[in-house]
């Protein structure tokens, strides 16, 4: 059992939970994730390890409530316990050891770039973070990233930071030059746009992919992605890949496989108890 030690509302539908998981906190690396199961018989949900405290023996999970399973998780309170947390899973982030890196996070993806920025900063790399949200209340992890380097905040309505998309701010940084590598995490359209933006500049671009995951070991095959014309399994070979080689069309198509069932379940889960398909929308929870 993994006891919740702290809870914080980060945005209207994003919640931070600090939970006891001492062994994972000790051995985890940036980019890795865990599979969480609230209790016996419930859905398995993959979540990125957004932070860890080895002394306290806790890890930080950032959860966007998009369906029945994630709503149940974020409804838990301090002192309650999560039944299973398996991990760390996936390959650690490919870290730059010197130079300058830019970390781009969109929405809940900002929580995923946070451990990347942490690792880069600890290695002595200069870090600039570009993060975005619909408005000020949707921007997360700004103070944490500000401790690691410069932060550029973008909001759709201009209520915080500069108005516009993260790609607008990123283009200015690319034009200025001096970027050795870029890490991007967010919705598929955002990651696709960033990969296309950086391509002519020749800047290596690492993206964290969000396919359907069930077991986290590659056995189910749901996490298949096409990278450079080769089928890769994101849960064991990723979740991070070269953004210039990812087939984003195929990724987007597979993410929509269960959309009809998700919509039906979202309408009936409160009355019938049917699963709302969070696992089919791992990109929104990771």
Domains of the chain by residue range: 2-89, 100-134+170-253
**Residue 227 per-residue DSSP state:** E
Q: The domain 2-89 is classified under which CATH number: 3.40.50.300, 2.20.28.120, 2.40.30.10, 3.90.480.20?
A: 2.40.30.10
- Residue 80 sits at φ, ψ, to 5 deg, of -80, 165
Cross-strand partners of 59 = 19, 52
Which stretches in the chain have pLDDT values below 70?
256-286
Sequence-separated (6 or more) residues with CB below 8 Å from residue 245 = 227, 228
* Nearest partner of 249 among 183, 195, 170, 206, judged by Cα: 195
C-alpha–C-alpha distance, residues 124 and 245, integer Å: 28
| pLDDT score recorded for residue 272 | 42
C-alpha–C-alpha distance, residues 207 and 194, integer Å: 9
**Residue 21 per-residue DSSP state:** -
Q: Which two tokens stand for residue 63?
A: 């959860």
Cβ(179)–Cβ(203) below 8 Å: yes
| pLDDT score recorded for residue 265 | 53
Distances (CA, A) of 184 to 50, 111, 244: 15, 11, 12
Cβ(115)–Cβ(31) below 8 Å: yes
Distances (CA, A) of 157 to 103, 124, 161: 22, 35, 10
| pLDDT score recorded for residue 213 | 79
SS3 state at 20: strand
| pLDDT score recorded for residue 277 | 47
C-alpha–C-alpha distance, residues 7 and 17, integer Å: 5
Measured at the alpha carbon of residue 255, what is the angle toward residues 113 and 28, in degrees to the nearest 5? 35
| pLDDT score recorded for residue 247 | 92
- Just give the CATH number of 100-134+170-253: 3.40.50
């Amino acid at each position: 059992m993994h006891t919740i030690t702290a809870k914080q509302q980060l945005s209207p539908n994003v919640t931070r939970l600090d939970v006891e998981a001492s062994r994972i906190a000790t051995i985890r690396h940036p980019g890795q994730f865990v599979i969480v199961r609230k209790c016996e018989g419930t859905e398995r949900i993959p979540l990125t390890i957004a932070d860890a405290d080895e002394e306290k023996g806790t890890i930080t999970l950032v959860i966007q409530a998009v369906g029945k399973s994630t709503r149940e998780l974020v409804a838990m309170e301090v002192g309650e316990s999560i039944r299973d947390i398996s991990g760390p899973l996936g390959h650690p982030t490919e870290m730059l050891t010197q130079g300058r890196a830019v970390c781009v996070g969109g929405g809940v993806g900002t929580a995923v770039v946070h451990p990347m920025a942490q690792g880069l900063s600890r290695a002595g790399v200069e870090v600039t973070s570009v993060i975005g949200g619909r408005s000020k209340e949707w921007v997360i992890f700004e103070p944490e990233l500000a401790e690691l380097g410069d932060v550029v905040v973008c909001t759709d309505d201009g209520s915080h930071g500069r108005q516009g998309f993260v790609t607008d701010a990123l283009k200015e940084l690319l034009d200025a030059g001096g970027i050795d590598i870029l890490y991007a995490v967010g919705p598929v359209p955002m990651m696709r746009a960033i990969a296309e933006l950086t391509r002519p500049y020749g800047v290596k671009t690492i993206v964290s992919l969000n396919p359907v995951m069930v077991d986290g070991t590659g056995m189910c095959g749901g996490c298949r992605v096409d990278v450079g014309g080769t089928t890769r399994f994101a849960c064991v070979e990723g979740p991070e890949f070269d953004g210039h080689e990812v087939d984003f069309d195929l990724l987007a198509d597979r993410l929509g496989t269960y959309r009809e069932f998700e919509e039906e379940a979202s309408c009936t889960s409160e009355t019938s108890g049917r699963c709302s398909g969070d696992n089919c929308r791992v990109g929104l929870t990771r």
